[in-house]
Each structure stands twice: as structure tokens, then as C-alpha cells.
């Protein structure tokens, strides 16, 4: 499906699929027909179960040895107060990690571990994560805000909320859709693409409203 959102300054449409259903063919479509950065989201619960940081926190921790990292803090983002970027990973049973099949393998195995992590205790998930994955890699992780669409309304939260409402592993794979002019694909162009491909086109406000109903007591 496609999820469109605009904050009054920029508009962006992301191609979205549940991470547990990713295939090499879908990664190829993301790469060739969307063209942005291919990322896998994760909910706050998964992030805590796996003990994963925000990438900015990693850079800050490295700043005593590499002072330049402190100067690179993303504290002037024009679109948000905090970057959702986490670490990058490859599954250990991949080669370079960049091919469509390698990235699909990494994402599907990450979704499987995320499901298990939500049911585990005593640090098992963190140990298993280290056994199965290496970093850095070619799949970018995006950390969704706690509470999802209660505090932040970016594509990371919109996509993660969609898979949560569908009863799936709280991880979505997303990719920004780019136009031939080098800019983000316009809303009209994204709608036309969805119609040609038989895909669902959702606006961010629709996802937010559905989430509020989903979370209502």
C-alpha cells in the first residue's frame, strides 16, 4: 500500500508492506519503482526488548573519543524534533547484504525475531539478536516513538500503526517514492501509481483517525 502525508511544507508518499511479508521481489519493486531509502520500522516495545538505541545516541556515546560526532547531532531537523534512525543491520546468513534477496532475508528474519522478542524474558532476545545479526549492515532500522501516533506522526509511526492494527508483527518496511524530477513523488502521481498497480492509497490523517478508534476504550 501507499501512505501519503504532508506537514504543510513537504509532501511524501511511502510504499509500505508488513516486514514479515517482505520478499526479494518486493525489495526490487521498492528499489526500482519507489527509489528512496528502504527501511524497517520497529515499535518501542520491540526496541526495548532488543536493547536497541537510536543512532544519535550511538554517535553521542562515541563523542568522547570522536568529538566530531557531538558536533553532528541532528538538533536542527527542519521536519522533526528527533530522528527516528536506529542502527543498520544484516542477517548473518547473507553475503554483502545489499542484494534484494539479502535485504529480504534480513527484514523477514528481523520480523520473526521481533515477534519472539515480545514474548521473551531474561534477555534472551538481545542474545539471539547478536547471534543472528551483525552491524553495520544494509537494512536501516527506524525506531517508532512510544505510543506510536500519540506523540509523533511521521511515516515511521504511521506504517507501524498500520501493521499493529492488522494484528501483525509491529514492523513495517517502507520506502519513500521519488519522482523523475528528483523530488518526492507528488500526491497526484502517487495516486495514479496506486491505481495502476491496484494498491491501496491512504492519507496519513486516515491512519491517525483509524488508530484513535483502534485505541479507544
DSSP 71-111: HT--TT-SS-SS--EEEEEEETT-SSS-SHHHHHHHHHHHH
Contact 74, 83 (CB under 8 A): yes
The reported pLDDT for the residue numbered 82 is 72
Let me know if 75 is a catalytic residue.
Answer: no
Q: Does the pLDDT at position 14 exceed 80? A: yes
Residue 34: name the closest of 213, 211, 198, 194 by CA: 194
The reported pLDDT for the residue numbered 5 is 82
User: What's the predicted TM-score (pTM) here?
Assistant: 0.93
Residue 22: name the closest of 89, 112, 93 by CA: 112
Confidence bin at 77 (pLDDT 50/70/90): confident
The active-site residue out of 79, 80, 127, 206 is: 79
Let me know if 193 is a catalytic residue.
Answer: no
Let me know if 138 is a catalytic residue.
Answer: yes
Using DSSP bridges, classify how beta strands 2-6 and 201-203 pair: parallel, antiparallel or unpaired. Answer: parallel
**Angle at CA 138, nearest 5°, toward 136 and 141?**
80
The active-site residue out of 138, 146, 189, 203 is: 138
Using DSSP bridges, classify how beta strands 2-6 and 11-18 pair: parallel, antiparallel or unpaired. Answer: antiparallel
Let me know if 143 is a catalytic residue.
Answer: no
Q: Is domain 2-215 annotated with CATH 1.10.10.10?
A: no
The active-site residue out of 5, 12, 14, 20 is: 14
> What percent of the chain lies above the pLDDT cut of 70?
96
Task: Collect contacts of 104-108 with beta carbons under 8 A, ≥24 apart.
Answer: 104/22, 104/23, 104/24, 104/26, 104/27, 106/133, 106/137, 106/138, 106/139, 107/19, 107/22, 107/27, 107/40, 107/139, 107/173, 108/19, 108/20, 108/22
- What are the boundaries of each domain within the chain? 2-215
The string of pLDDT tens digits covering residues 155-214 is 999 999 999 999 999 999 999 999 999 899 999 999 999 999 999 999 999 999 999 999
Residue 161: name the closest of 1, 11, 10 by CA: 1
Let me know if 175 is a catalytic residue.
Answer: no
The string of pLDDT tens digits covering residues 40-68 is 999 999 999 999 999 999 999 999 999 99
The string of pLDDT tens digits covering residues 131-140 is 999 999 999 9
Helix (H) or strand (E) holding 6: strand 2-6
The reported pLDDT for the residue numbered 9 is 54
Contact 170, 42 (CB under 8 A): yes
Let me know if 79 is a catalytic residue.
Answer: yes
Half-sphere exposure of 117 toward its Cβ, with a 13 Å CA cutoff?
28
Amino acid at each position: 500500500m501507499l501512505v501519503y502525508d504532508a506537514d504543510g511544507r513537504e509532501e511524501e508518499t511511502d510504499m509500505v508492506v508488513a516486514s514479515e511479508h517482505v520478499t526479494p521481489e518486493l525489495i526490487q519493486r521498492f528499489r526500482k519503482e519507489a527509489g528512496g531509502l528502504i527501511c524497517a520500522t520497529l515499535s518501542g516495545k520491540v526496541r526495548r526488548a532488543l536493547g536497541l538505541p537510536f543512532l544519535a545516541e550511538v554517535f553521542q556515546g562515541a563523542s568522547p573519543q570522536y568529538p566530531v560526532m557531538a558536533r553532528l547531532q541532528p538538533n536542527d531537523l527542519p521536519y522533526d524534533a528527533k530522528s527516528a534512525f536506529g542502527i543498520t543491520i544484516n542477517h548473518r546468513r547473507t553475503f554483502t547484504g545489499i542484494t534484494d534477496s539479502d535485504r529480504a532475508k534480513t527484514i523477514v528474519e528481523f520480523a520473526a525475531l521481533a515477534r519472539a522478542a515480545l514474548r521473551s524474558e531474561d534477555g534472551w532476545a538481545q542474545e539471539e539478536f547478536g547471534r543472528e545479526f551483525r552491524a553495520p549492515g544494509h537494512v536501516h532500522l527506524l525506531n517508532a516513538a512510544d505510543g506510536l501516533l500519540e506523540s509523533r506522526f511521521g511515516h515511521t509511526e504511521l506504517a507501524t500503526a498500520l501493521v499493529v492494527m492488522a494484528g501483525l508483527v509491529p514492523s513495517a518496511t517502507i520506502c519513500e517514492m521519488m519522482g523523475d524530477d528528483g523530488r518526492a513523488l507528488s500526491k497526484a502521481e502517487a495516486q495514479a501509481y496506486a491505481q495502476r498497480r491496484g494498491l491501496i492509497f491512504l492519507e496519513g490523517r486516515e491512519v491517525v483517525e483509524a488508530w484513535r478508534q483502534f485505541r479507544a476504550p
